[in-house]
Amino acid sequence: MKIAELKELLEAGEWNDVEFKEARTAVPRSAFETISAFANTHGGRLVFGIGQHGEEFKVIGVDKPDKVQGDFLSLLHADQKVNHDVQVNEQRFHIDDKIVLAFHIAENPRTRKPVYLDGDIRRTFLRKGSGDYRAQMQDIERMLRDATADRWDSQPFERVLLEEAFEPSSLRWFRDRFHSANSGTDSEEPDESFLYRWGYLIKDGKRRIPTHGAIMLFGSSLAVHQLIPRPTLDVQFLGYATNEEMPRTRWIDRIVCEENIIHAWEQLVAKYKFFMPKPFRDIDPVTLGRRDDPPGFRVFREAAMNLLIHQDYGDHSRKAVIKFFRDGIQFWNPGDVFGDDSRLMEPGEKEVRNPGITAAMRRIAMCEQAGTGMRMMREEWQAVGHPAPTYKNDRAWKAFELFIPELDKEVDMASDLMKAMFGATRPESPTQSPTQSPTQSASQFERLLILLQESEMSSGELREALDIKHRPTFRQNYLHPAMKAGYIEYTIPEKPNSRLQKYRLTEKGRGFLSTNEREGE
36 and 110 share a domain? yes
Q: What is the mean pLDDT of the chain?
A: 85
- For the segment 246-266, the average pLDDT, to the nearest whole number, is 87
User: Omega into 114 within 30° of 0, i.e. cis?
Assistant: yes
418 vs 466, higher pLDDT:
466
Rounded distance between C-alpha atoms, residue 178 and residue 185, angstroms: 9
73 and 198 share a domain? no
Residues 6+ positions from 8 with CB-CB distance below 8 Å: none
Instruction: Report the run of H or E that residue 20 belongs to, with start and end.
Output: strand 18-21
Domain CATH number, residue 26: 3.30.950.30
Neighbours of 495 (CB within 10 A): 11
238 and 338 share a domain? yes
456 and 507 share a domain? yes
Return the pLDDT at 373: 83
Give percent above pLDDT 70 in the chain: 85
Q: Is residue 33 included in any domain, yes or no? A: yes
- In SS3 terms, 134-189 reads as ECCHHHHHHHHHHHCCCCHHHCECCCCCHHHCECHHHHHHHHHHHHHHCCCCCCCC
Q: Is residue 96 included in any domain, yes or no? A: yes
Residues 6+ positions from 205 with CB-CB distance below 8 Å: none
Residues 115 and 39: beta-carbon distance below 8 Å: yes
Comparing CA positions, the residue from 419, 414, 416 lying closest to residue 403 is: 414
Largest CA distance in the chain: 93
Q: What is the pLDDT of residues 282-301, one digit of tens each?
A: 555 555 554 444 557 788 88
Residues 491 and 456: beta-carbon distance below 8 Å: yes
Picking from 363, 392, 422, the residue at the C-terminal end of a domain is: 422
How many domains in the chain? 4
pLDDT at residue 479 is higher than 50: yes
Residues 6+ positions from 48 with CB-CB distance below 8 Å: 21, 22, 23, 27, 31, 62, 68, 72, 100, 101, 102, 103
**Which alpha helices (H) appear in 369-470, and where do they start and end?**
373-383, 413-422, 438-442, 444-454, 459-466
pLDDT at residue 476 is higher than 60: yes
Return the pLDDT at 463: 84
295 and 391 share a domain? yes
Check residue 233 and give left, alpha or beta (phi > 0: left; psi -120 to 50: alpha): beta
Give percent above pLDDT 90 in the chain: 54
15 and 56 share a domain? yes
Q: At what angle do helices 65-76 and 30-40 cross, to 10 degrees?
A: 50
Tell me the one-letter amino acid at 114: P
Residue 418 sits in which domain range? 230-422
Residues 6+ positions from 265 with CB-CB distance below 8 Å: 304, 305, 308, 366
486 and 409 share a domain? no
